[in-house]
Amino acid sequence: MTLDLFQDCDLPSPGREELAPGAILLRGFARRRAEGLVAAIEEIAARTPFRHMQTPGGQHMSAAMTNCGPFGWISDRRGYRYEPSDPDTGAPWPPMPGIFLDLAADAAADAGFPGFLPDACLINRYEPGTRMSLHQDRDEQDLTAPIVSVSLGLPAIFLFGGLKRSDPSDRIALVHGDVVVWGGPSRLRFHGILPIREGTHALLGRQRINLTFRKAA
């Protein structure tokens, strides 16, 4: 306990912060499960590798992505959608590990959304300099379920805006182990990630990994 506290002394202390109605930041919520999460991510990526998906406009996404669970989010020239199989391997996405399901349900319940059972987990990998531009998560059929977003590795500035693209965004510093949950009246808020700053993380090296759990179908 004491040793852990010393190791983590540069990290904000665990706690719960309301960002907006239905949007909760759970500081450090995933920190103690991080090593297990990273091992599971490595197993998933060995089966269904990270790739830079093409956007409908023909660019490539700055973050590399893969998925696990019954459905995976993909982007290509035809648009954005959920698919039960990886178009690159032709195989179903790897199943969602128990450690993922437990974390997603625990975090959602803590944020006021009990009974969350995600059927999709998008795994984003950012290297320094990469970003995610402002967008809404709106490809899911069930908008009553929240989004649960887990940050691992290098820190990031999360942009959390309103329901219109032109609404001002808050800038929230997210570090390893932080979890953000947004649902209810905040479910369709615009959000994004500013370019990741150069750095090296003790567990993940020169990368940030984000898990977003969704109820897609």
What is the contact surface with Fe ion in residues (CB under 5 A)? 137
Nearer to ligand SIN, 40 or 64 (CB): 64
Site for ligand SIN in 194-213 (CB under 6 A): 210, 212
Is residue 75 part of the contact set for ligand SIN (CB under 6 A)?
Answer: no
139 burial level (CB within 10 Å; 0-12, 13-18, 19+):
middle
Is residue 124 part of the contact set for ligand SIN (CB under 6 A)?
Answer: yes
In whole angstroms, what is the distance from residue 27 CA to residue 1 CA? Answer: 18
One-letter amino acid at 205 equals G
Q: Which of 66, 130, 149, 207 binds ligand SIN (CB under 6 A)?
A: 149
156 burial level (CB within 10 Å; 0-12, 13-18, 19+):
buried
Nearer to Fe ion, 137 or 178 (CB): 137
Q: Residue 193 touches which of Fe ion, ligand SIN, none (CB < 5 to 8 A by kind)?
A: ligand SIN
Q: Residue 130 touches which of Fe ion, ligand SIN, none (CB < 5 to 8 A by kind)?
A: none
Nearer to ligand SIN, 16 or 135 (CB): 135
Site for ligand SIN in 39-68 (CB under 6 A): none
Position closest to ligand SIN via CB: 210
Nearer to Fe ion, 32 or 60 (CB): 60
Nearer to ligand SIN, 3 or 86 (CB): 86
Is residue 191 part of the contact set for ligand SIN (CB under 6 A)?
Answer: yes
Query: Which residues sit at the interface with ligand SIN, rule CB under 6 A?
Result: 122, 124, 132, 149, 158, 191, 193, 210, 212
